[in-house]
Amino acid sequence: MLRINYSFTAKQPLFTGSDENFGTERKLIREKVIMKNPIIIKSNFKNETERRIAILKILKNIWKNLDVSSMPNSRLLGIYDEFASKILASTCVKTKYQFLNEICYKFGIRSLDDTEIIDILKMFNDDEFLTTIRNEYQYLILLLRRSNKEKLDTNDLFSQEEINTNEELIFTKNYESVPLIQGNSIRGYLRRIVMYDFFKQIGLNKIDKTKYHYYFTGGTLNEMSVIDIELKENEIKYCPMMGLCGSAIGNMTIEGELKVASARPKCIENGTGELSYWELIGKRFQTRLDTSKTEKDIEIIYGENEPTQQMKYEFEVFNKGTQFTHQFVLTSENPLIVSAFHYMLKLFTENNFIAGNSARDMGEIDLSELSNFIDEKKCQEYCDYLQENKEEIKKYISNE
Rounded Cα gap, residues 196 and 29, in angstroms: 28
Does residue 247 share a domain with residue 216?
yes
Q: Of the candidates 164, 192, 212, which is a domain's last residue?
A: 164
| 42 pLDDT above the threshold of 90 | yes
Does residue 334 share a domain with residue 213?
yes
Q: Give how far Cα 284 sits from Cα of 128, 226, 319, Å.
A: 28, 51, 10
pLDDT in tens, 108-139: 888 888 888 999 999 999 999 999 998 999 99
Q: Is residue 269 part of a domain?
A: no
pLDDT in tens, 316-373: 889 999 999 999 999 999 999 999 999 999 999 999 998 766 656 788 999 999 999 9
Does residue 229 share a domain with residue 373?
yes
pLDDT of 77 reads 75
Does residue 90 share a domain with residue 152?
yes
**Greater model confidence, 301 or 282:** 282
Q: Are 167 and 46 in contact (CB under 8 A)?
A: yes
| 298 pLDDT above the threshold of 70 | no
Does residue 151 share a domain with residue 92?
yes
Rounded Cα gap, residues 15 and 27, in angstroms: 9
Does residue 196 share a domain with residue 230?
yes
Which of 82-91, 360-369, 376-385 shows the highest mean pLDDT? Answer: 376-385
Q: Of the candidates 139, 164, 189, which is a domain's last residue?
A: 164
Q: Is residue 387 part of a domain?
A: yes
For the chain, how long is the longest CA-to-CA vector? Answer: 85
Q: Is residue 359 part of a domain?
A: yes
Does residue 341 share a domain with residue 255?
yes
pLDDT of 327 reads 97
Does residue 240 share a domain with residue 152?
no
Which of 59-73, 235-249, 298-312, 329-343 shows the highest mean pLDDT? Answer: 329-343
Rounded Cα gap, residues 203 and 394, in angstroms: 8
Does residue 193 share a domain with residue 160?
no
Q: Is residue 289 part of a domain?
A: no
First CA to last CA across the chain, in angstroms? 36
Does residue 93 share a domain with residue 208?
no
pLDDT of 336 reads 93
What is the CA angle 64-70-74, rounded to 5?
Answer: 100
Q: Work out the pLDDT band at 149, boundaries 50, 70, 90.
A: confident
Q: Is residue 308 part of a domain?
A: no
368 half-sphere exposure, CB direction, 13 A CA radius: 5
Average pLDDT, the chain: 83
CA–chain centroid gap for 199, Å, is: 31
What is the CA angle 350-354-359, rounded to 5?
Answer: 90
| 229 pLDDT above the threshold of 80 | no
Q: Are 94 and 276 in contact (CB under 8 A)?
A: yes
**Greater model confidence, 372 or 233:** 372
Q: Is residue 27 part of a domain?
A: no
> Total structural domains in the chain?
2
Of 137, 127, 208, 210, the C-alpha closest to 170 is 127
pLDDT of 67 reads 75
The pTM assigned to this predicted structure is 0.79
| 248 pLDDT above the threshold of 60 | yes
| 200 pLDDT above the threshold of 90 | yes
pLDDT of 325 reads 97
Does residue 54 share a domain with residue 150?
yes
Rounded Cα gap, residues 121 and 99, in angstroms: 11
Residue type for position 267: C
Q: Is residue 252 part of a domain?
A: yes
Q: Is residue 122 part of a domain?
A: yes
Does residue 219 share a domain with residue 87?
no
Which residues form the domain of 128?
Answer: 38-164
